[in-house]
Chain A
Amino acid sequence: MKITPLNSSLPLRNASFDTLVEALEYAAEGETGYNFYDGRGELSSVLSYKDLRLEAKCLAKKLVGLGLKRGARVAIVAETDPTFHRFFFACQYAGFVPVALPAGFQIGARKAYVEQLERMLDTCGADVAVAPESHIGFLKQAVERLDLVKAGTSDEFDTLHESGKKLFPLNADDIAYLQYTSGSTRFPRGVEISQKSVMANLRDISVHGLKITEQDRMVSWLPLYHDMGLVAFVLLPLGSQLSADYLSPRTFGMRPRLWLKLLSQNKGTISSSPPFGYALCAKRLRLTDQDKYDLSSWRVACVGAERIHPEPLRQFAHVLKAANFNPKAFVACYGMAECALAISFEALDVGIKSMQVDKDKMSSEGLVIPVSKVDENTVKALTFVDCGKVLPSFELAIRGDDGSDLPDNQCGRICLRGPSVMTGYFQNPAATEESLSSDGWLDTGDIGYRIGENIVVTARRKDVIIVNGRNIWPHDLEYLAETLPGVRFGNVSAFSFSDEKGSDQVVIVVESREKNPAKIRTLVSELSALMTENFGIVCHLDLVPPRTLPRTSSGKLSRSKAKQDFLARLELFNGGTQVAGGNG
């Protein structure tokens, strides 16, 4: 087996196509494609664009033979495996809509994972579902109560007969795929991305964000069911005729150094990660390892998907200096599935640009007042990273609570309009209406400020809690806590704060009438075990007397107020030690 080469032998086209099928048809004329590496970092399969075109068309005819309607949803349990790519593109040729389902799960949490798959299959109205051998047991269990035309492994689909009918690929006005990254595990929402949206975003990224050339090669360990994994490392290399090399997320989690090894041996030039990936890698690196790698080819190391703290990145660059890692390769970026993927990129060859702002002015008035080196010791400061210039096809507005446009250096809701914005949440008009206005403006729910056309994100997504790059929705934690005897419905508030190291700490405040110290201890340990077993996170649990949690005038719990109160208690407890906050 030989990996696909760096050069495609075709003139570079930066995603200048109307549809994904057009992009594949062009790339298939060249030599490049996808390469998959196993848990030990050995090459396990190669899928050139040429082979992908052939296999996807053949599979498309088999799917058409099942008699599905145009636009039918085909769910793919997205393990990092050629199965995903084959089915995703078979859908493009057959006129069906692919939906990537998560392939990661919590150890021992079989039930929770199967339920999650079932809810997703149900909300997207999947007719067909496929899983690799490793996940077929979960999928078969998840479809038991659903009415699917077919669910099976890739081999089971291969035995189907090809239909003799002509294929009608998805066209420019059709949906390209549904993306489940937004929303909670209990109420999953599928983002609807059209061919036009994704192609516009790919062009923006290829031409303006990453300035892709024929000399680029992509390397990724990101999950394919995540927008960054799918759009940046499956669709972007295809749209730009580049080769891409994959490790699975699990392989990366277990052996993060394989990421560096792959970048080094294949001379990768573009690879991305949420900040935690860089931190994990730095932590697991042995000093004696450094000269094993040569990372001089790595020109773009994107950082995104969660709030960026500069320190872990500095650490990563420091330990890999001997491996020729260039700290200016870091590119802060901002994006979300609702905009296909990318919204802004910092300029290339600049590195991370961070700024310190006055914490009190920001939390009280939303004003951005820079703190100079001189003031650092007297003024409480928050550090933010510039996420760069908004891609040219977007219009950006920062809006105040009254909907008015705010000037530079003032915090408000980040709103965007442009061709890459989603058409809506699939079959969910209420959720769509909440975030998308009739004149096409998307209210991202994120908070930030602008400096000209540059965006600085100060808090992500209203209440979402991000732990190691994973989004956790507070109401999922609250709901789980409420299932415990002794905890009443509506008496729980979950949120996160950022500690002095910049990591998100999860807090659950529970109102309880319990006064017996032994019983309180039991309740706390039960709650704590429940959270780790279901979400794999360690929480700070805070038991408070009834009617302590702040409520809004309509009686709803206010998470932001609960967080303020908690931080005040913590500061009191720590004798005034400052807790770095600012996440909302």
Chain B
Amino acid sequence: MDKNAVVEKLIKLLEGSLGKSLVLSKDSTLLGDAGLESIQVIEYLCEVEDAFDVVVDEESLSHVSTFGDLASVVERISSE
């Protein structure tokens, strides 16, 4: 899967869990642009881990700001 496809899947997942369509891109931030609260981020992360079958560690998460960042982390961990 290329990075754009991962980003697309990440956004689809979020749309699914929030039950609404969102105008987001790889440069949108999870907290600012998507407007998620911290507890929602944790819930969303659970869906991401299940959908991609990965476990995202704290260190990697601490560098994540945008959906593009999250896609890179997911890609890296799944290729390890």
Instruction: Using CB atoms and an 8 Å cutoff, list the residues of chain A in contact with chain B.
Output: 39, 105-110, 113, 134-135, 137-138, 250, 253-255, 276, 280, 284, 467-468, 470, 528-529, 532-533, 535-538
Contact A253 B43 (CB under 8 A): yes
* B5-13, B18-26, B51-59: which lies at the interface: B51-59
Contact A532 B37 (CB under 8 A): yes
Q: Which of B43, B57, B58, B65 contacts A105 (CB 8 A)?
A: B58
Task: Find the A residue at minimum CB distance from B32.
Answer: A529
CA distance A501 to B46 in the complex (A): 26
Chain B residues lying within 8 Å of A254, measured Cβ to Cβ, are 42-43, 45-46, 49
Contact A250 B42 (CB under 8 A): yes
Contact B61 A255 (CB under 8 A): no
Contact B61 A536 (CB under 8 A): no
Contact B31 A532 (CB under 8 A): yes
Q: Does B62 belong to the interface (CB within 8 Å)?
A: yes
Q: How many residues of B contact A (CB 8 A)?
A: 26
Chain B residues lying within 8 Å of A109, measured Cβ to Cβ, are 62
Q: Separation in Å of the B10 CB from the closest CB of chain A?
A: 13
CA distance A529 to B29 in the complex (A): 9
Contact A536 B38 (CB under 8 A): yes
Q: Which of A39, A107, A137, A535 contacts B59 (CB 8 A)?
A: A137
Q: Does B64 belong to the interface (CB within 8 Å)?
A: yes
Task: Find the A residue at minimum CB distance from B33.
Answer: A529
Task: Find the B residue at minimum CB distance from A135.
Answer: B58
CA distance A401 to B35 in the complex (A): 41
Contact B58 A134 (CB under 8 A): yes
Contact A107 B39 (CB under 8 A): no
Known: A39-B55, A536-B31. A110 touches B62 (CB 8 A): yes
Contact B65 A538 (CB under 8 A): no
Task: Find the B residue at minimum CB distance from A132.
Answer: B58
Q: Can you list 20 A-B contacts with CB-CB less than 8 angstroms, sorted by A residue number?
A: A39-B55, A107-B30, A108-B30, A108-B31, A108-B63, A113-B62, A135-B58, A137-B62, A138-B59, A254-B46, A276-B39, A284-B43, A467-B37, A529-B33, A532-B32, A533-B32, A535-B38, A536-B39, A537-B38, A538-B37
CA distance A356 to B46 in the complex (A): 39
Q: Separation in Å of the A509 CB from the closest CB of chain B?
A: 20
CA distance A253 to B61 in the complex (A): 15
CA distance A403 to B44 in the complex (A): 49
CA distance A470 to B37 in the complex (A): 12
Q: Separation in Å of the A152 CB from the closest CB of chain B?
A: 16
CA distance A479 to B45 in the complex (A): 30
Task: Find the B residue at minimum CB distance from A111.
Answer: B62
Q: Separation in Å of the B63 CB from the closest CB of chain A?
A: 6
Task: Find the A residue at minimum CB distance from B69.
Answer: A108
Chain B residues lying within 8 Å of A533, measured Cβ to Cβ, are 29, 31-32, 65
CA distance A109 to B58 in the complex (A): 11
Q: Does B36 belong to the interface (CB within 8 Å)?
A: yes
Chain B residues lying within 8 Å of A135, measured Cβ to Cβ, are 58-59
Chain A residues lying within 8 Å of B39, measured Cβ to Cβ, are 253, 276, 280, 468, 536
Q: Separation in Å of the B36 CB from the closest CB of chain A?
A: 7
Q: Separation in Å of the A523 CB from the closest CB of chain B?
A: 15
CA distance A470 to B43 in the complex (A): 17
Most A CB contacts (10 A, CB to CB) among B42, B59, B63, B64 go to B42
Chain B residues lying within 8 Å of A105, measured Cβ to Cβ, are 58, 62
Task: Find the A residue at minimum CB distance from B39.
Answer: A468
Most B CB contacts (10 A, CB to CB) among A470, A532, A538 go to A532
CA distance A564 to B55 in the complex (A): 46
Chain A residues lying within 8 Å of B57, measured Cβ to Cβ, are 134
Chain B residues lying within 8 Å of A113, measured Cβ to Cβ, are 62
Q: Separation in Å of the A110 CB from the closest CB of chain B?
A: 4
Q: Separation in Å of the A490 CB from the closest CB of chain B?
A: 26
CA distance A535 to B39 in the complex (A): 11
Task: Find the B residue at minimum CB distance from A276.
Answer: B39
Q: Separation in Å of the A117 CB from the closest CB of chain B?
A: 12
Contact B38 A106 (CB under 8 A): yes
A-B residue pairs, 7 tightest by C-beta: A536-B38, A254-B46, A253-B42, A529-B32, A110-B62, A108-B65, A532-B31
CA distance A134 to B64 in the complex (A): 16
Q: Separation in Å of the B31 CB from the closest CB of chain A?
A: 4
Chain A residues lying within 8 Å of B30, measured Cβ to Cβ, are 107-108
9 new A-B contacts, CB < 8 A, other than A107-B30, A108-B62, are: A39-B55, A107-B38, A107-B64, A108-B69, A253-B46, A254-B49, A276-B39, A467-B37, A536-B39
Q: Separation in Å of the A116 CB from the closest CB of chain B?
A: 12
CA distance A253 to B58 in the complex (A): 14
Q: Separation in Å of the A273 CB from the closest CB of chain B?
A: 13
CA distance A107 to B44 in the complex (A): 12
Most B CB contacts (10 A, CB to CB) among A468, A470, A536 go to A536
Chain A residues lying within 8 Å of B55, measured Cβ to Cβ, are 39
CA distance A128 to B64 in the complex (A): 29
Q: Separation in Å of the A275 CB from the closest CB of chain B?
A: 13
CA distance A253 to B38 in the complex (A): 10
CA distance A250 to B37 in the complex (A): 15
Contact A138 B42 (CB under 8 A): no
Task: Find the A residue at minimum CB distance from B70.
Answer: A107
Chain B residues lying within 8 Å of A535, measured Cβ to Cβ, are 38
Chain A residues lying within 8 Å of B65, measured Cβ to Cβ, are 108, 533
